[in-house]
Amino acid sequence: MAAGAHLRLSCSGAEDRHGYIWDRHYNICLAKLRHQDVVNSVVFSPQEQELLLTASDDATIKAWRSPRIVRIHQAPRPRPRPFFSWFASQRR
């Protein structure tokens, strides 16, 4: 959970594939921000308090502008790379 906009707003990520923006004064959800997988990191920019970043297990980082809650940028997904594991046993 992170706080922004002069501590009136907070944000959180969840296993339901969404990030959330909360109004701490009224204790209500202002926005539900969709990803394709678990949202495991959220942060408001310290320099620009209406800018929110969300990171997800879907391999994306999305930038959102609050209070309009518009997605302004999405980082490209990295190309999958093959992963190999090989174990050799020596028998004598």
The model's pLDDT over 1-42, given as tens digits with 9 standing for 90+, comes to 555 555 688 899 999 999 998 888 889 998 899 999 999 999
* Under 8 Å between Cβ of 24 and 3: yes
Specify the residue for token string 């707003």: 9
pTM over 0.75: no
Which domains are assigned to the chain? 2-74 (2.40.10)
pLDDT at position 15, please? 96
Tell me: pLDDT of 64 over 80: yes
Contact 71, 62 (CB under 8 A): yes
Q: What is the pLDDT of residue 57?
A: 93
Is residue 62 within 8 A of residue 72, CB to CB? The reply is no
For the four alpha carbons of 22, 23, 27 and 28, in that order, the dihedral sign comes to negative
What is the maximum alpha-carbon separation in the chain?
73
